[in-house]
Each structure stands twice: as structure tokens, then as C-alpha cells.
Amino acid sequence: MSFAVIKPGLETSVQDWPGRYGYWNQGFPPSGPMDSWSFRLGNLLVGNPVGAPGLECQYMGPTIRFNEPTIFAVTGADMQPTLDGAPVPLWESVTAQPGQVLALTFAKLGTRAYIAVAGAIEVEPWLGSRATFHKAGIGGMGGYALKAGQTVPTGTPAPQANAGRQVKPEARPAIVTDRRWEIEVVAGPNDDWIDAAGHGRFLSTDWKLSGKSDRTGFRLDGPEWSFTEKAINKAPEHGSLPSNIIDQGYPLGAINLAGQTPIILVNDGPSMGGFINPYTVPQAAFWKLAQSKPGETYRFKSITVDEAQAMARSLSALCTESSIIL
């Protein structure tokens, strides 16, 4: 079973969840879907395991032609999907017949949409994952975004793959319409390099998402930071700038302070480097990053590690059959 790529969209890629874990020390980040909430629910709609390989579409979606009868679902951003020109409902499993064409256009609301197909996408795993890491050319369809003319293989649908399954409205991520996002952060690992005024400014400022952002890092525009004595009077091996530190490991979601520019390290980000990380965005908040566009604003909210873990548990509880209307 398979589908053909007529138009690839803008960097549409094969991803699986949670991605390629255990190889960051060799330079391979987790990758995987940036909005795992929408991704996991899409798989449930078509009867797949929540982490099965599917498509992540960003800004502009693809046009594909199904070669066999298929159950599919589109979740996440509203890219105004149509099947042979007829509107396709989001958050619902739909039947496609051989030869029918699914077309996604620009993201009317949100940024990243997900296409799940019953039986999932069947490509060879690389280091235990099908997730595409574009900058190294690994995973997915030859390691890169989809290309026009490709045929994407899919697996055998499970018995529970049926049309008409829907995600309950209250179980869907609420994509903002006013271009303003509240993003949770946990202090650390290098919060002690920022002084009280710097912390206060960071948490009380609207930060604008820069157009110089991708799946490696989300660059933010805002005011300057101020530092503690520890960051200013330090051993020379730490570097000359207050934000420099001897090379250290970076957590996923770290707000990496490069000089005066904070960059949120997301799914394809580096594993280590010589800048401090005053805050970290928990993975349960990544869906908000995924659905935001350049020019939109973030207001950060400080939470504890326990609260971040509770967010993750709540999200996992939503990504189950309990959120599906049969």
C-alpha cells in the first residue's frame, strides 16, 4: 500500500514519536513531531499506535494521491484540507478511495499539521526511529523532506481503523487566535548566572518569535539580559561574554542564551555547547511552540519541575482512546 506525492508542501517530513532517543551523544537529536499532542491523536484516529510514523507539514501542506483504499486523518493546524476538492474535517478519520487526492494549502490557523494514515508509513528505521533529521539526511524518505514524484509506502491497517472516529473537542490543543502565547518554563540549569532584574525582565516581557527559526532553534527578539557576578568575574576558560560557559550538555527545550539572544533548542537542536541555559521549556509545552508563527509573541510563565511532570502526565492521559468518539 502507498500514496504518491504530487506536491511536497514546505518541508513535509516523516516523523515518529518520541523520535530517536539515546543517540544525542553521537550528534543525533530526537527529532520527531514538534506537536506530539496532535500527532498522537491523529494516529489514534486511524487505529495506529500513538507513536507510529506519519507526516508533519509546516506552513504549507502537501498534495498526495492515494493508491489504495485508505483511512486517514488530519490534525493540528488548519491547512484547509480537501479530498478531490471537497472539504475534509480536521480531527476525524476519513475514507479515501484509490486515485483520490488529498490537498492541504497554507496554515490558516496554527503552523504544523499532521497526516496519519491507517497502517502508518513504512520506511526503514535508522538508529531505532523513522524520524527525519534534515540536517544530517537520516530517517524518513531518504533522510529529507518529501519530494514531488515520490511514492510513500504504508502498512496494513489495523482492524480498529474506521472512518468517522473523532477527537473530543475538549481533548484537542487550543491554538490561539490572538497571536499571543503563554509558554511554561522551568528555571535552570544555569539560572544562577542571571540576576534578579534579568529574571524579572524575562518573565514580564513579550518576546517575539523571529523568522530566523526552524526545527533546530526558535530565536526570540526582546530586551537585553543582565547577569550575576558569577557570569562576569569567571575563569577565562568560560569565555569572554557573560553568557559564555565551558562546554556543557544542553537539555531539550533549553533557552540557550547566545550573547543577548535567547534561542529555544527544539527537536533537532544541538546536544551541547558553550552558552548558558537560564530556563527550559518542558516538552509538554512544545505543542505551543510548534503551532506559533514568526512575529507572534510569547509570555513565559515559571513553573516547577513537579508541575512540568504533571503537565506531561496530563497530556499523555489525553492521548488515549478516552479522547476518541467512536
Can you give the pLDDT at residue 290? 98
- Report in angstroms the alpha-carbon separations of 268 from 49, 126, 160, 180: 23, 15, 33, 24
Domain boundaries for CATH 2.40.100.10 within the chain: 180-318
Predicted local confidence at residue 247, as pLDDT: 94
Residue 228 confidence (pLDDT): 97
Query: Along the 326 residues of the chain, how does pLDDT read in single tens digits?
Result: 999 999 999 999 999 999 999 998 888 999 999 999 999 999 999 999 999 999 999 999 999 999 999 999 999 999 999 999 999 999 999 999 999 999 999 999 999 999 999 999 999 999 999 999 999 999 999 999 999 999 999 999 988 889 999 999 999 999 999 999 999 999 999 999 999 999 999 999 999 999 999 999 999 999 999 999 999 999 999 989 999 999 999 999 999 999 999 999 999 999 999 999 999 999 999 999 999 999 999 999 999 999 999 999 999 999 999 999 98
Q: What is the pLDDT of residue 207?
A: 98
In sequence order, what DSSP letters do the residues of 56-103 get, joined into one string? EEESB--EEEESS-EEEEEEEEE---EETTEE--TTBEEEE-TT-EEE
Q: Residue 217: what pLDDT?
A: 96
Q: Is the CB of residue 263 less than 8 Å from the CB of residue 219?
A: yes
pLDDT at 160: 82
In the CATH hierarchy, which top-level class contains the domain 180-318? mainly beta
End-to-end CA distance of the chain: 25
Prediction pTM value: 0.95
